[in-house]
Every structure is written in structure tokens, then in C-alpha cells.
Amino acid sequence: MLLMRVCLKCCFLAGWLFASFAPAATFTNPIDSSGQDPWVIQWRGDYYYCWSAGTSIRISRAARLQDIATEPATTIWTAPAGQPYSQNIWAPELHYLQNRWYVYFAADDGANENHRMYVLESTTEDPFSLYTLRGKIYDPADRWAIDGTVLEQAGKLYFIWSGWEANVNTQQNLYIAPMSNPWTISSNRTLISQPLNSWERVGGPPYINEGPQVLKRGTNTFVIYSASGSWTDDYCLGQLRLTGTNVLLPTSWTKLTTPVFAKTAQVFGPGHASFVKSTDQTQDWIVYHAAKYSGAGWNRDVRMQSFSWNANGSPNFGTPVNTNVHLVEPSGSPCGTTYEAETALVNHATIVANTRASNSNKVGLIDFADSYVQFSVNAAKAGQYRLYVRYGAGLGAATHLLSVNGVSAGTVSYAAGAWDDWDFNTNSLVNLQAGTNTIRLTKGSGYAELDFLGVNPGPEWDTDADGLGDTWERTYFDHLYDPAGATTTDTDGDKQSTLQEYIADTNPTNSSSYLGLTGILAAYPNLTVQWRGGILATQFLERSDSLNPNPIWITVFTNLPPTTASVSRNDNPTNRAAVFYRVRASR
């Protein structure tokens, strides 16, 4: 909903276009010039990218999905030498389960036949905290295993992975087994898919089903998996759909007889995907790897594109989009409308290709008295707006002179850093007129490069352009929902209508009800959210950044056991200027 003025180093913004209006920002594939098995998870407004690098596992964080590979990465774990899990670390996945982070990865001792799945556990809720090795995660058969992922279904955990039936590398199948906790499989595995279709058997033997990923929408649950040899152009995605009630029964899973995402005349070997929502939760995106060219084998890069849904509730991934095609960025950019420096009017400066910059370009050599970058910015209404300037200053502190519509608006100051280790200046407030405005950044002292400019969609007093002012926007509310649903009830005294209050449904006959909160027990930013259960059902704490006009609810804590007692959960919703909570009870 709102753009915060702190913690923005992680905020990556996408393509900006220069025109008399504010067109959609764009990006181009690939988003990671070299990579495979991309795993991206969305948490508290940011995207976390997890991958292996040699014998280490790394994580980066970005506010924009297309920037996951350009932000600085943190090594969270390095395999010690001489262990069964010291080599060939493949396809790590980062999962948030039961208030901790877990990383599932495949590894061996240098011999492929010894590949097994392992799990790391974080020490805190911070994805970048220390991790400890919980050990091998395996079923009683303890066969070759890779590409493990977790299915959460009806309040229970299940592990899904790719494995061998016996000890010979002839075929990889998909298996599922129940979990007693995030690091333990509690019973025998069940076979749910074999590579029997011709499009699943290219390049074999071995014949391949691997890379299973869970995709849910509403009441529908899917497993999207990779098929055929990953070293071939024909690597593709297949689909299993949960059509029964017991996930441990093979008959509960129905396989499509055709691939759902496959090669084109220009894109080869698209596979091993993960799935996330856009920032505003209104769009679905697939992140996947593909071969760089026909016959490239395991020389791959990482790409992303949006997808839609079929009338029968299944995903429609379309076809892989060619590289270097401008695609509209995911909706709800956290830094407002963004404008790429290289598409602005550039004078006595140079546009430079740069893989760490948004849209793979930056403007450098802004080195002369007449050097400037000029943006054409549209404002829906007159008012004071906040600017977000993404910059690099590798030779020390620097400044740019700021002007708006030809009038001086002060100086933008940049802290010293490293070239291409992008940072943000968020301190500039400017007065814009309704319609088109000209914002110019001219060389001041020192030397700084520009990646892009961000402008909030609404004036400073109304950061998300929803028509509600700062007094309401910048306060954390404890909404005590009215079970009667009266249309004029102002349950928390903030003088907002039920459009903002989001009246709860506590009808016990409904499959999903909303329970009122009892209190917010601590001040921002360290919040303890407390509520009374009241209904014997699995509960989910959900958070929204806005209640007007159509709230988007994100699950903060899941799978809370049925209870009628008071329940508390800690939440630290960083980078948010307002937050609202509800509790959903599902039977």
C-alpha cells in the first residue's frame, strides 16, 4: 500500500519510460544471466531468492521481483568438507514454516548415486539469520532423492521430491510422504508420478520427473514439475492436479497428458519453476530457467513472466517469452511509479549497459557542469511528492542539483558506496502540478551514477492515492470487527466506514470465517497481535496494508491449531506505513 521512508536499500525498481504520461515500467529477460533451479518466495512484501553457489547456499532480497539477482547476496551456509552432503548441492528451497525458516537442498559426497535431501533450520525469524543443519530428511526406503519441496494441506505438512525407485539411475519419479515436523518424514513414500508420456522421456534413459513445485489457488492444488532431460532442449513443465481428498493416494492426483510450458522456436528447455504473486497480490508470476540457446544443455539463465488461469481453475502459463522483449513489471511497485534513467533525456552523460542495474542499463559519466538527466513525470493531482533516487557513488559522497519544472528544488545528497552497489536517497520532497512535470538532476559535487527515479502514486499526504490522509495512513490500527456487519459501524473509532473496517463473518457454518482481534500489545515496529479463538478451527493470521477499496490479505502465520483460548503472535511488518490484521478460521 504505502511506501516507507526507511530500509530501502533492498528496494529494486524496474523499467521506466519517458513520455508525457506515466506508462508502465518494464523489464527484459533474463533477470539472472546465469542460473538454474530458481526458488523465489515472497515474505512481508519482499522477494527472497535462494540458490546454490559451489558448496554454499545464498539468499538475496529484493522489493521488485525482476531484481532478485542484482541485490547483494548473503551466504547462509557452507558445506564442510568430508561429509555425505559436502558436494553437488542442488536446487535449495527456502520455506517459512512454524515461525522458522527451513532450506531444503540435495547434496552428495561427490558420487551422484549418493544424492539425498537435507534441511537447514534458521535460529530466528530473520531469513538471513544463522542456520544449523538438521540433517538428512528421508523416508524409510532412503533412496536417491533431489528437488524436495513442502506441501501444506489441511493443516498438515507433506514432503514431495524426485527419486529413484531402487538404486539404479534409470528413471526419476515423484514421491510424497507425510511430515511430523519440518525436518522429519514420518511414514513411507507414495508414488504420484512417473515419466510415461513421450514428452517426459526425451534424452533418456534416465527418464525424468523432477523439480516438483506446489501451486495453489482457491481450493485447487497443483504440483507443477519438470520433465525430460534437463540437458535437452525439450525440458518442459508438466502438471498434477489434486482431484481427491487424500494427498497420499496416487489416485488423488490427475496428470495432464500434455506439457503446460514447453520450448518454442526461440526458447529452449524452460523448466524448474517457482511461483509468486506481484507486490500488490493481484498477479501471478512464474520464475524459471531456460537454456541460453539450442543445445546449450546446462548453460542456463533465469527468467520470469506473468501467467493467467483457465476456466477450470488450472494455471495457463502460455508460452515462454523471448529474451530482450520488454514486459510490464509486476503490479504494485513498492516505490511508486518508476522511470529508468536511460529512457529519460540525457545530456552530456552516457548510457551504459550494466547487469546489476534495473533494466540492465544505467546513466554514468555525469561528470560535467552541463551534465543532467531529465525525467518527464506525470502526477494525477497537484501536491507534494516524495522522490526515490537509486544511485551509485563509488568515489565518495556526491550531490546532484534538483529542479522541478525549471525551478530549483534543492540538492540530492548521495552517501559514499561502491559502484553498482545501488542505494537510495529518499529525502527529497517536491511540489508537482497535476499533469506532466519535468524533474532534472544535474551534476553537483563529486560523482554519482543514476539507475532510476521513483515517485509515489499519490501526494505525500496520501502516499497510496486512496484519498485518505496521513493521520489515518501512518497509524497502526487494532480493528475490532463487528460480527453483526452493520454498514455504518465504526468499531475502532477512526471515523472510517465499513469499507475500511472490513466487517468479519463469524458464521460457524461457513468454511472460512474471520475472528475479531483482542489487541495490539506493543508499539510499532515490534507488534504482538493477540486474538481469542472462539471457533474450533485451524486459524490463519492475515495482514493487509490497506482496506480501501479492495483489501489484499497476506498470510502472516499459518496452521495455528484449533483453540478457544487467547492466541498471540509477534509480527514486525517493516517497510509499511499502515497495517491491518484479521484472523481467518478454516474448517
Catalytic residues: 37, 210
Of 567, 505, 580, 519, the C-alpha closest to 539 is 567
Exposure on the CB side of residue 49, measured as CA atoms within 13 A: 27
CA distance 335 to 422: 15
Q: How many Å apart are CA 86 and CA 88, to the nearest integer?
A: 7
At 488, phi and psi to the nearest 5? -110, 10
Measured CA to CA, the distance from residue 408 to residue 406 in angstroms comes to 7
Contact between residue 226 and residue 235 where contact means Cβ atoms under 8 Å apart: yes
Residue 454, CB-side half-sphere exposure with 13 Å CA sphere: 27
Q: Find out whether 302 and 289 touch, Cβ atoms under 8 Å.
A: yes
**Angle, CA 565 vertex, CA 559 and CA 566 arms, to 5°:** 85
CA separation for the pair 200, 234 (Å, rounded): 9
Cβ(235)–Cβ(199) below 8 Å: no
Query: 383 is written with which cell numbers?
Result: 501536491
| Residue 311: other Cβ atoms inside 10 A | 6
CB crowding 178-193: b at 16 or more within 10 Å, else e? bbeebbebeeebbebb
Residue 27 three-state SS: strand
Is residue 473 within 8 A of residue 2, CB to CB? The reply is yes
- Give the integer Cα–Cα distance in Å for 333 and 338: 8
**Cβ contact 16:390 at 8 Å:** no
For cell 527484459, what's the residue?
28
CB 212 within 8 A of CB 160: yes
Amino acid code (one letter) for 274? S
Exposure letters 232-265 (e unless 16+ CB within 10 A, then b): bbbbbbbbbbbeeeebeeeebbebeeebbbbbee
In the numeric block, the cell 484519498 is attached to: 467
Give yes or no for a cis peptide into 127 (omega within 30° of 0).
no
Among candidates 298, 296, 361, 352, which has minimal Cα distance to 326?
361
Identify the helix (H) or strand (E) that includes residue 471.
Answer: helix 470-473
